[in-house]
Amino acid sequence: MSITQDIDDVLAYIKEASPGQDEFYQAAHEVLYSLIPLLEQDSRYMEFNILERIVVPERSVIFRVNWIDDQGKIQTNVGYRIQFNSTIGPYKGGLRFHPSVNLGIVKFLGFEQIFKNSLTGLQIGGAKGGSNFDPKEKSDNEIMRFCQSFMSELYKHIGKHRDVPAGDIGVGAREIGYLFGQYKKLTGEFDGILTGKGLNWGGSLVRKEATGYGSVYFAQNFLEACGKDLKGKKCTVSGSGNVAIYTIEKLYEFGAIPISCSDSKGTIYHEEGIDLLRLKTIKEMHHDSLESYADIDCSCVYTPVRDYPKDGHAVWDIACDVAFPSATQNELTLRDAKKLKENGCILINEGANMPTTAEALKFIRKTDILFSPGKAANAGGVATSQLEMSQNASMAQWSFEEVDIKLRQIMKNIFKMAYDTSVEFECEGDLVTGANIAGFRKVADSMIEQGAV
Ligand code: NDP
Ligand code: 2IT
């Protein structure tokens, strides 16, 4: 049987066994097809049935989360923890709290995390979790009670050598604090069972900034390899959360001009460059909408969210040299990709997980636009989480500079590994293929070494 037929069979199995899990199917389709050159070169992966094994999570935990709102009413949400693959280390990956969270979304994120974590060169397996809980419009006490209830179930499944969750959309320092407090109360143990912790109780410097900073380091590495750099480049950024904010901060340090940000309600285009302090005040301090950014006396333009995806995302209509999609999955459509090409964009650097739709990616890969896939470009967050775990294990706290130097080096190594792998498989600069093969190969080889478990 041909390799393509085998891949199609695995994809057909996913469709049948996981109906309606479109994002998971999309992620699996992209990864499996990009592995063809490796599978042709080395027959062991088929012999040991790695494809069929790697698309099934080792364990899926789905649980009910009951919590009491401020009116005293009992509310119910669904919680998930998908422990996808622990071949090269304990399960590691974030928790997402957003109304759109469902099994398919958590599975796509967990699947991507396997290869991302492998690319970091560190010993961490892949997992993801979360809930369809919507933190918006909730009081601090409601968020605390939800986090406590969520942890009352999750604590049974995690551990510092077993599974170490972290943040993602809707889960930041505040939520990690409430989750950690409840874990400690339930177990009586002060353990590094979460990353992204507060700096006074086991957190690592640079973890907050790491995904955004790492994304910019990755872009700079890619541009340098092509004889270019970020200095003076107009950059569009989508999102206005953790990843977007620290992407913008680092872009300024590299002499680039970040000219946009967005949230679920609208987009800001600020030609002179985003006012970072204002953005942080609105988003980090007040958890407010970006609409208020446009109140200041400046030449910025606010575009309320359009009929999306039909009319595309306003961010990608803005002419730029480099685009940093840093909000959520499938936020950059074929229409948007065509617009970016038309406007002369030279690099799309994914800060979010799978922000580019399959159709847009197919189009981009046929153009001369450079493309950094999220599992490589946004791996700085999870890599720094692992540095937090290392510090916890040795009860040490490294300086900001020490952690940042390590992060820069890790991003350089990831870029080099993805790039060198693209050269090895005769598609120089195709980092989708390079990152997928490099991430997969390490996990698959280790699965073979560990036997059929
Ligand atoms: P945040 O919750 O801090 O910010 C998310 C941002 O994206 C907000 O501006 C939010 O707008 C916007 N957004 C979220 N969902 C949607 C949606 N469905 N439609 C439109 N806008 C949306 O999350 P992060 O910055 O942490 O995460 C952003 C992306 O980066 C995600 O894809 C995440 O998986 C990925 N990532 C995060 C890492 C981390 O360390 N945090 C590490 C690696 C990847 P609003 O505020 O209006 O909801
Ligand atoms: O998608 C991701 O890599 C994250 N949300 C961070 C995971 C982590 O464990 O730090």
- Are 263 and 311 in the same domain? yes
- Are 173 and 218 in the same domain? no
Asked if the structure places residue 439 within a domain, the reply is: no
Tell me which DSSP letter residue 133 carries. Answer: -
Rounded CA separation 261/269 (Å)? 7
Which three-class secondary structure state does DSSP give residue 132? coil
Residue 19 has a CB neighbour count (10 Å cut-off) of 10
Residue nearest to atom 29 of ligand 1 (CA): 352
Among 211, 390, 392, which is best to mutate for testing ligand 2, by the most ligand atoms less than 8 A from CB? 211
Residue 299's pLDDT is 85
What's the gap in Å between 105 CA and the centre of ligand 1? 13
- Are 129 and 236 in the same domain? no
What's the gap in Å between 384 CA and the centre of ligand 2? 9
Residue nearest to atom 10 of ligand 2 (CA): 382
Closest ligand 2 atom number to CA of residue 196: 10
Tell me which DSSP letter residue 18 carries. Answer: S
Last residue of a domain, one of 323, 351, 372: 372
Which three-class secondary structure state does DSSP give residue 160? coil
Asked if the structure places residue 448 within a domain, the reply is: no
Asked if the structure places residue 323 within a domain, the reply is: yes
What's the gap in Å between 329 CA and the centre of ligand 2? 14
Closest ligand 1 atom number to CA of residue 207: 40
Residue 295's pLDDT is 82
Asked if the structure places residue 279 within a domain, the reply is: yes
Rounded CA separation 14/82 (Å)? 16
Q: To the nearest whole percent, how much of the chain has pLDDT over 90?
A: 96
pTM beyond cutoff 0.75? yes
Evaluate whether 403 touches 390 at the Cβ level (below 8 Å): no
Residue 92 CB–ligand 2 contact under 6 Å? yes
- Are 299 and 150 in the same domain? no
What ligand is nearest to the CA atom of residue 290?
A: 1
- Are 216 and 174 in the same domain? no
Closest ligand 2 atom number to CA of residue 378: 3
Domain count, the chain: 2
36-45: Cβ within 8 A, 24+ apart: 36/3, 36/4, 36/7, 37/425, 37/426, 37/427, 37/433, 37/437, 38/425, 38/437, 38/440, 38/441, 39/3, 39/6, 40/3, 44/448, 45/444
Evaluate whether 81 touches 165 at the Cβ level (below 8 Å): yes
Which two three-digit tokens encode residue 353? 């997980």
Q: Nearest-CA neighbor of 174 among 221, 125, 141? A: 141
- The residue type found at 325 is P
The CATH code of the domain that includes 248 is 3.40.50.720
What's the gap in Å between 114 CA and the centre of ligand 2? 11
User: Could you read off the pLDDT of 138-192 as tens digits, one per residue?
Assistant: 999 999 999 999 999 999 999 999 999 999 999 999 999 999 999 999 999 999 9
Residue 7 has a CB neighbour count (10 Å cut-off) of 20
Tell me the residue ranges of DSSP E strands in 355-426. Answer: 370-372
- Are 242 and 180 in the same domain? no
Asked if the structure places residue 40 within a domain, the reply is: yes
- Are 153 and 234 in the same domain? no
Average pLDDT (269-292) is 95
pLDDT band at 236 (very low <50, low <70, confident <90, very high): very high
Run of H or E including 267: strand 266-269
135 HSE (CA, 13 A, CB side): 22
Last residue of a domain, one of 339, 372, 405: 372
- Are 129 and 179 in the same domain? yes
User: Could you read off the pLDDT of 200-227 as tens digits, one per residue?
Assistant: 999 999 999 999 999 999 999 999 999 9
- Are 89 and 127 in the same domain? yes
What's the gap in Å between 288 CA and the centre of ligand 1? 14
CA 290 to chain centre: 22
Closest ligand 1 atom number to CA of residue 381: 40
Q: Which residues contact 287 (CB under 8 A, 6 or more apart)?
A: none
Residue nearest to atom 44 of ligand 1 (CA): 352
Q: Which residues contact 112 (CB under 8 A, 6 or more apart)?
A: 27, 126, 353, 354, 374, 375
Asked if the structure places residue 12 within a domain, the reply is: yes
The alpha helices in 313-399, defined as continuous H runs, are 334-342, 358-366, 374-377, 380-393
- Are 214 and 149 in the same domain? no
Pocket of ligand 1 (CB under 6 A): 98, 100, 167-170, 172, 211, 239-244, 263-265, 326-328, 351-353, 378, 381
What's the gap in Å between 352 CA and the centre of ligand 1? 7
DSSP assignment of 33-98 equals: HHTHHHHHH-THHHHTTHHHHHTS-SEEEEEEEEEE-TTS-EEEEEEEEEEEE-SSSSEEEEEEE-
What ligand is nearest to the CA atom of residue 137?
A: 1
Among 116, 328, 382, which is best to mutate for testing ligand 2, by the most ligand atoms less than 8 A from CB? 382
- The residue type found at 211 is T
- Are 242 and 185 in the same domain? no
Among 95, 105, 164, 168, which is best to mutate for testing ligand 1, by the most ligand atoms less than 8 A from CB? 168
Residue nearest to atom 4 of ligand 2 (CA): 94
What ligand is nearest to the CA atom of residue 89?
A: 2
User: Could you read off the pLDDT of 374-395 as tens digits, one per residue?
Assistant: 999 999 999 999 999 999 999 9
Closest ligand 2 atom number to CA of residue 165: 9
CA-derived radius of gyration, the chain: 21
Asked if residue 312 has pLDDT above 90, the reply is no
What's the gap in Å between 418 CA and the centre of ligand 2? 19
Cis peptide before 355 (omega within 30 of 0): no
pLDDT band at 296 (very low <50, low <70, confident <90, very high): confident
- The residue type found at 216 is V
Run of H or E including 354: none
Residue 109's pLDDT is 98
Catalytic residues: 128
String of b and e for 340-360 (b: at least 16 CB within 10 Å)? bbebebbbbbbbbbbbbbbeb
- Provide the β-strand partners of residue 85: 126
Asked if residue 327 has pLDDT above 70, the reply is yes
Q: Nearest-CA neighbor of 435 among 42, 50, 128, 112? A: 112
Q: Residue 229 to residues 322, 405, 412: CA-CA distances in angstroms?
A: 10, 19, 15
Evaluate whether 338 touches 363 at the Cβ level (below 8 Å): yes
Residue nearest to atom 1 of ligand 2 (CA): 94
Residue 90 CB–ligand 2 contact under 6 Å? no
- Provide the β-strand partners of residue 324: 237
- Are 38 and 95 in the same domain? yes
Q: To the nearest whole percent, how much of the chain has pLDDT over 70?
A: 99
Which two three-digit tokens encode residue 137? 């419009």
What's the gap in Å between 428 CA and the centre of ligand 1? 31
Residue 166 CB–ligand 2 contact under 6 Å? yes
Last residue of a domain, one of 372, 392, 410: 372
Evaluate whether 370 touches 220 at the Cβ level (below 8 Å): no
The CATH code of the domain that includes 167 is 3.40.50.10860
Task: Give the residue numbers spanning the domain of 308.
Answer: 210-372
Closest ligand 1 atom number to CA of residue 374: 44
